[in-house]
């Protein structure tokens, strides 16, 4: 049971302000004496999984591995470590399949010399007792934060209960820092807060995009149509924006072309129409595909046909950019000095629809540009193509990286900045 705290007992969160182009002056864990502290770290271990029978197995553990730099730093400082994360979308329900047991198992593989203690809740006396009994250099993994609706509601009482578990709080979950959730925002009202080494690395690399070597080319794709809102902001920073994946179809439909059964909705078309009008003001920075690889079904055995953008049939689905578009995009990529890519350009999970993304990825890898790739699908794709070492920075955050690079507000970063005023 969470004891209720009224908003009158704490200061109200001030109106969020846009991030500046300079690196925010955030407190790092390297700034303080940590010896023997109990630390509460918000990580993002929401790793992709696949279902096998009645159980899940981890498909890619990169997010867990990415936070090891921070975890090991605390281990070297003889700290007692509490990790908290969300896992999947339980929507406030305690679902057996989405417990963090799977994450604990993976952590034990990655940190075999350290004891990993998995607890069955985020709060309560039993959790406190296990933390109290744990020794320094032991790691306590809390249960899925999103088993509580209070997490996504940014509930102060829930956050206060979490804060009471430790001496200091660390945000090392850049991927959820664009969310106004209790474990990254409200919690900073109750405990000294710092950024972890992963978060710090993310910001240092992403900030290079604000003063890029020109030309600066952004590539935006993927299946999440809600990203279309960010293109309008991104267009101010980029010299060119190459749009593929499902994001291309609202633009084509806004121009009056048939997109068949390709992923598209009216709200996205409305936003695309507005962006197209503004695009003229920005010297036609947006570059759309001129051909697609289409099919009537999303299946391994479906027939794939190359179609020009203005020749898609009503019963067809655009599932990859075509060869003419690859050539067009490559022209801009090979002339770029800075490249930012978020989202695959096709349905890369099926081999016949991944060629466009693979050829673009190969071009980026061969280029001399500073390259940033963000998003879970994008990271998975680069791993699949075995090009990870050829990319300058692979961000752990998709929506967070694009929001940040679009100079939009990241509530969790603002919360860390405000924390300095409360606990200085």
* Confidence (pLDDT) at 283: 79
Q: Digits of tens for pLDDT over the chain (424 positions)?
A: 444 433 343 333 223 223 333 444 789 999 899 999 999 999 999 998 888 888 889 988 989 999 999 999 999 999 999 999 999 998 888 888 899 999 999 999 999 999 999 999 999 999 999 999 999 999 999 999 999 999 999 999 999 999 999 999 999 999 999 999 999 999 999 999 999 999 999 999 998 888 888 999 999 998 887 778 778 777 878 899 999 999 999 999 999 999 999 999 888 999 999 898 888 787 789 999 999 999 999 999 999 999 999 999 999 999 999 999 999 999 999 999 999 999 999 999 999 999 999 999 999 999 989 999 987 788 888 988 999 999 999 998 888 988 888 778 899 999 999 998 898 7
The pTM of the full predicted model, rounded to 2 decimals, is: 0.83
* Confidence (pLDDT) at 213: 86
Distances (CA, A) of 138 to 44, 73, 134, 202: 19, 13, 6, 26
Task: Measure the CA–CA gap between 187 and 67, rounded to whole angstroms.
Answer: 20
Q: If you search the block for the tokens 């099919």, which residue do you land on? A: 295
Judge whether 119 and 77 are in contact, CB under 8 Å: no
* Confidence (pLDDT) at 33: 92
* Confidence (pLDDT) at 279: 81
Judge whether 113 and 138 are in contact, CB under 8 Å: no
Tokens at 257, concatenated = 């072309």
Task: Measure the CA–CA gap between 44 and 39, rounded to whole angstroms.
Answer: 16
Count Cβ atoms within 10 A of the Cβ of residue 371 and give its class: 0-12 exposed, 13-18 middle, 19 or more buried.
buried
* Confidence (pLDDT) at 24: 45
CATH code of the domain made up of 7-204+409-422: 3.40.50.1260
Neighbours of 22 (CB within 10 A): 9
| Residue spans of beta strands (DSSP E) within 205-358 | 216-220, 240-243, 286-287, 291-295, 305-308, 317-321, 338-342
Which is it for the CA torsion 318, 322, 326, 327, positive or negative? negative
Neighbours of 251 (CB within 10 A): 26
Dihedral pair phi/psi, residue 347, rounded to 5°: -80, 75
Distances (CA, A) of 193 to 9, 187, 256, 420: 19, 9, 51, 8
Distances (CA, A) of 63 to 43, 174, 202, 296, 351: 9, 11, 13, 35, 25
* Confidence (pLDDT) at 171: 98
Judge whether 319 and 294 are in contact, CB under 8 Å: yes
**Read out DSSP for 98-158?**
GSTHHHHHHHHHH-TTS-EEE-S-SSSHHHHHHHHHPPTT-EEEPPPGGGSHHHHTT-HHH
Hey, what CATH class is 211-405 in? alpha beta
Residues in the chain: 424
Residue range(s) occupied by CATH 3.40.50.1260 in the chain: 7-204+409-422, 211-405
DSSP tag of 28: B
Count Cβ atoms within 10 A of the Cβ of residue 35 and give its class: 0-12 exposed, 13-18 middle, 19 or more buried.
exposed
DSSP tag of 48: -
Count Cβ atoms within 10 A of the Cβ of residue 137 and give its class: 0-12 exposed, 13-18 middle, 19 or more buried.
middle
């Amino acid at each position: 049971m969470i004891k209720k705290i009224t908003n009158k007992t704490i200061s109200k969160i001030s109106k969020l302000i846009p991030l500046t182009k300079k690196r925010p002056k955030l407190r790092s864990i390297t700034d303080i004496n940590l010896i023997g502290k109990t630390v509460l770290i918000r990580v993002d271990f929401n790793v992709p999984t696949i279902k096998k029978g009645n159980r899940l197995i981890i498909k890619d553990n990169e997010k867990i591995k990415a936070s090891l730099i921070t975890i090991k730093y605390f281990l070297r400082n003889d700290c007692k470590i509490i990790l908290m994360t969300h896992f999947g979308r339980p929507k406030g329900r305690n679902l057996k399949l989405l417990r963090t047991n799977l994450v604990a198992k993976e952590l034990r593989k990655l940190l075999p010399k350290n004891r990993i203690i998995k607890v069955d809740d985020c709060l309560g006396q039993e959790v406190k007792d296990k933390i109290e009994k744990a020794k320094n250099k032991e790691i306590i993994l809390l249960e899925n934060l999103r088993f509580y609706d209070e997490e996504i509601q940014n509930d102060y009482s829930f956050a206060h209960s979490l804060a009471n578990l430790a001496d200091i709080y660390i945000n090392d979950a850049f991927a959820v820092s664009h969310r106004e959730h209790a474990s990254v925002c409200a919690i900073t009202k109750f405990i000294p807060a710092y950024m972890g080494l992963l978060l710090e690395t993310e910001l240092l690399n992403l900030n290079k995009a604000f003063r890029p070597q020109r030309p600066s080319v952004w590539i935006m794709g993927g299946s999440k149509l809600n990203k279309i809102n960010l293109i309008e902001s991104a267009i101010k920073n980029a010299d060119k924006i190459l749009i593929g994946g499902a994001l291309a179809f609202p633009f084509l439909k806004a121009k009056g072309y048939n997109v068949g059964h390709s992923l598209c909705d009216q709200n996205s078309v409305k936003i695309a129409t507005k962006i197209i009008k503004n695009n003229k003001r920005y010297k036609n920075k947006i570059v759309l595909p001129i051909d697609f690889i289409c099919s009537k079904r999303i299946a391994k055995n479906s027939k794939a046909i190359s179609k020009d953008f203005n020749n898609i049939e009503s019963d067809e689905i655009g599932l990859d950019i075509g060869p003419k578009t690859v050539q067009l995009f490559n022209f801009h990529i090979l002339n770029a000095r800075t490249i930012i890519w978020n989202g695959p350009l096709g349905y890369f999970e099926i081999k016949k629809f991944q060629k466009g993304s693979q050829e673009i990825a190969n071009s980026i890898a061969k280029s001399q540009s500073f390259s940033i790739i963000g998003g879970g699908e994008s990271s998975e794709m680069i791993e699949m193509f075995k090009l990870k070492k050829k990319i300058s920075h692979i961000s752990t955050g998709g929506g967070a990286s694009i929001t940040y690079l679009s100079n939009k507000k990241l509530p969790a970063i603002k919360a860390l900045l405000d924390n300095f005023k409360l606990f200085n």
